[in-house]
Structure 1
Amino acid sequence: MKRPLRTHGYRAAAAVALACTITSTTQQAAQADPQTLTEVQARLRSLYRDAEVATDEYNATDEKVIRQKKRVGVLDDQVHVTEAKLARLNSLAGAAAAAQYRGGGLPAELQFALASEPGQALDNVGLALQTQRNTRNLLTDLTATRKEVRSRKDAAAALLGRLRASRRAMATERKTIEQHIAAAKTLESSLAAKERQRLAALEKKEADKAQAKWESTGILKKVGTGATTAGKKAIAYATRQIGKPYVWGAEGPNSFDCSGLTSQAWLAAGVTIPRTAEEQWAHLTRVPVDDMRPGDLIIYFSDASHVAIYIGNGNIISAPRPGRYVYVSPAASMQILGVVRPDA
């Protein structure tokens, strides 16, 4: 006979119901069997995955705001430089016109006719006309440049405004993320200690099975075993963070999310990489899984929402999810999407 999944009475049953109704009624939760434990595991994964995806999106938006703000600043500086050049050139043109007026304002042809040394006058007139043409051309070019830069700045500022609005919307979504995390934690805490142990054992069994299947392909005989100097530094940094808690959106020094850990690890090695798992997958050099080496980053799930640093011997260091800590785990315990190399 299947043993029931025990909880802490009515309070536990209510907690399970609060956790987004893992079962249809609290009575079902209280009388759950091992099959329901599998459902609990699936629900926890769903809640934490939703939180991780939302976290990555929030971090990506934040990074875009930072980059766009810098771009707007650069364009603003270009506008100021262009306007300063225009102001100076207009001033010089005005001074030249005033000098011509003080000199009688005579047309160049008449000055040539009245000059005592026509040859020198011709040279002066030619130089003056050329200077005027150059000034007019430069004024035209600078005016066009100012218009273009201003247009680019306005467009960049408009995009910045949209990104900031998106970030504000994502900040509102923090409540949803936190609710997912809270629901998952409530669900976990509603389980009796023995059932939490069973759940942990179930997760470990699945991870070991996936890892064994991965290793049975002979992959570890193909992958590299030696890290580059930068890769060693990145691994050393990640190793020092073992035991620190996962906190969504964190990038150290006291807590990390998954991509916060990998980006800071490689920053410690002197290599700047994108902040989020999705951006790391999109912009870093991809290498075949069987060509990876220690220090490379393994990207997980079809939406590239999780990342870890490969440390060799089939293991990774990662910040897994809320409620967990930075730790060493089997590389194939999650669905591998691919591998990227920060120092390629």
Structure 2
Amino acid sequence: MSGRVPRLVCTAAVAAQAALVPVAAVAAPGPQEPGQRSVSELLTDLQKLYRQAEQATETYNAGAERLKRQRVEADRLDADLGAARRALRDSRTQAARLALQQYQGSSTELSPYLRLLLAPDPQQALAEGHLLGQLARERAETVRRLTTNEKKAADLAGKARRTLDTRVALAQRQQQARDDVQARLHDVEKLLASLSAEQVTALARTETDGAAAAQRSFLASGVLRGLRRPSREGDEAVRYAVRQLGKPYQWGATGPRAYDCSGLTSQAWEHAGTPIPRTSQEQWARLKHIPLHELRPGDLVVYFPEATHVALYLGDGMVVQAPRPGKRVKVSPVAANPVLGAVRPDPGGEPMRRYTPPELPRGALTKPHARL
């Protein structure tokens, strides 16, 4: 992506939320020139482009996780296949030794019945017959192991081939997802480059006013009911996220130098000792849903109907998030984006008896980069 995007995005401070302000419902950029569209229309266009870019990013992240799991499975199958081939080689060696023994003894060895009739000591002959029976059973077991190991090796070889085919297909889809993200970001760059200085200023003002109005409305609804104490793991996740403030957003990144939205939340909880899914959609689908009035620090707030954005709840109506390309990890109002719901990574975690919120860097709540 061109270096122009971060500079323009940071300057414009345009939002990726679709419901902050009462804007006209424009499904896509119209045929008009940017100078002919209203600020509301421009903001709607940019909101849509950012959402598309973020959705493409989460699709890319999900593909990366599937590819990672497939590589682990391929490595496991390779190890199992190697062990099966070694066992098959040993079984074939034993079978060859057995065939040689049978060939060498076939011309001189009497049948067990004749040996019993001609033996000077029938009791000894019976004991030898028992030994012969045991040897026969061992030979049969050798043949059984050979057959079993041949089948196991063939099955594992087939699974390994299918796993390799799947890895190739996943890698191709991953490249397509990467291209899609870059195309979406190029659309953002193109639109931002077309804006005048007056339009940039107006967009920033509209965005700030919209975020403040959305937060006031959210808090006035009474959905947040007092300060709740986090679990010990939740406290660790919050403190990790706060330590990342100011680091740049980068799509597909999981730290330590940069993050995307779900990269930040997943790494915060990984650091706290509770691994969670990588993407915002999987976090929404697989973690325990909780009512918004039960939010406590460390919970995850998920945004947009497609669950394409996620932030970590800080408390007091604020979240820590990695917002979008060109921005940095920051503290934001919980309602700065349209809230889909909340999930708790540690539903069994007991609240701490005493809790002191982490100290935020000076200006974290007031600097321009702390606003959407």
Match of 1:306 among 277, 302, 309: 309
Structure 2 counterpart of 1:89: 91
Structure 1 position 210, deviation (Å)? 2.5
Distance 2:282 2:52 in 1: 18
Structure 2 counterpart of 1:277: 280
Which segment is superposed worse, 270-279 or 294-303? 270-279
Q: Is the 8 A contact 1:22 1:43 kept in 2?
A: yes
Which segment is superposed worse, 308-317 or 171-180? 171-180
Structure 2 counterpart of 1:163: 170
Distance 1:337 1:85 in 2: 54
Name the amino acid aligned to 1:238. A
C-alpha spacing 1:104/1:290, structure 2 compared with 1 (3 Å): same
More helix by share: 1
Distance 1:110 1:101 in 2: 20
Distance 2:285 2:114 in 1: 69
| 1:29-48 pair list within 5 angstroms | 29-30=34-35, 36-48=38-50
| Cα displacement string for residues 171-221 of structure 1 (whole angstroms, at most 9, x for unaligned residues) | 33343133123124425xx332x6544423322332233323332332221
Structure 1 counterpart of 2:211: 207
Distance 1:152 1:108 in 2: 46
Structure 1 counterpart of 2:6: none
Distance 2:307 2:281 in 1: 5
Structure 2 counterpart of 1:127: 134
- The alignment's TM-score, normalised by the length of structure 1, stands at 0.83
Q: What SS does the aligned partner of 2:63 have?
A: helix
Distance 1:112 1:316 in 2: 90
Structure 2 counterpart of 1:325: 328
Listed as ranges, the gaps of 5+ residues in structure 1 are 1-20
Match of 1:253 among 244, 256, 262: 256
Name the amino acid aligned to 2:317. G
C-alpha spacing 1:100/1:30, structure 2 compared with 1 (3 Å): closer
Distance 1:199 1:229 in 2: 41
Name the amino acid aligned to 1:248. W
C-alpha spacing 1:206/1:92, structure 2 compared with 1 (3 Å): same
Q: 2:155 aligned with 1:152, yes or no? A: no
Which segment is superposed worse, 253-262 or 147-156? 147-156
C-alpha spacing 1:238/1:155, structure 2 compared with 1 (3 Å): same
C-alpha spacing 1:175/1:111, structure 2 compared with 1 (3 Å): farther
Q: Is the 8 A contact 1:48 1:180 kept in 2?
A: no
Q: Is the 8 A contact 1:231 1:269 kept in 2?
A: yes
Q: Is the 8 A contact 2:305 2:340 kept in 1?
A: yes
| Cα displacement string for residues 43-64 of structure 1 (whole angstroms, at most 9, x for unaligned residues) | 1111111111111111211221
Distance 1:264 1:58 in 2: 17
Q: Is the 8 A contact 1:112 1:121 kept in 2?
A: no
Q: What SS does the aligned partner of 1:99 have?
A: helix
**RMSD, aligned CA:** 2.4
Structure 1 position 127, deviation (Å)? 0.6
| Cα displacement string for residues 71-124 of structure 1 (whole angstroms, at most 9, x for unaligned residues) | 111111111111111111221222233234344563763575355522211211
Distance 2:114 2:242 in 1: 84
Name the amino acid aligned to 2:212. D
Q: 2:223 aligned with 1:219, yes or no? A: yes
Match of 2:241 among 238, 242, 253: 238
Structure 1 counterpart of 2:58: 56
Distance 1:296 1:107 in 2: 82
Structure 2 counterpart of 1:142: 149
Structure 2 counterpart of 1:78: 80
Name the amino acid aligned to 2:319. I
Distance 1:319 1:303 in 2: 18
- The alignment's TM-score, normalised by the length of structure 2, stands at 0.77
Q: What SS does the aligned partner of 2:225 have?
A: helix
Q: What SS does the aligned partner of 1:162 have?
A: helix
Name the amino acid aligned to 2:186. Q
Structure 1 position 42, deviation (Å)? 0.7
Q: 2:199 aligned with 1:191, yes or no? A: no
Structure 2 counterpart of 1:177: 184
Distance 1:127 1:259 in 2: 64
C-alpha spacing 1:40/1:342, structure 2 compared with 1 (3 Å): same
Which segment is superposed worse, 201-210 or 291-300? 201-210
Name the amino acid aligned to 1:67. R
| Cα displacement string for residues 206-263 of structure 1 (whole angstroms, at most 9, x for unaligned residues) | 22333233323322217x7111122111111111111222222222222221111111
Q: Is the 8 A contact 2:224 2:295 kept in 1?
A: no
Q: Which structure is richer in relative contact order (CA contacts within 8 A, separation 6 or more)?
A: 2
Q: 2:67 aligned with 1:65, yes or no? A: yes
Name the amino acid aligned to 1:277. S
Distance 1:111 1:339 in 2: 85
Percent identical pairs in the alignment equals 34
Distance 2:324 2:78 in 1: 41
C-alpha spacing 1:305/1:99, structure 2 compared with 1 (3 Å): same
Distance 2:259 2:188 in 1: 15
Distance 2:29 2:340 in 1: 28
Distance 1:137 1:45 in 2: 66
Listed as ranges, the gaps of 5+ residues in structure 2 are 1-27, 348-372
C-alpha spacing 1:138/1:234, structure 2 compared with 1 (3 Å): same
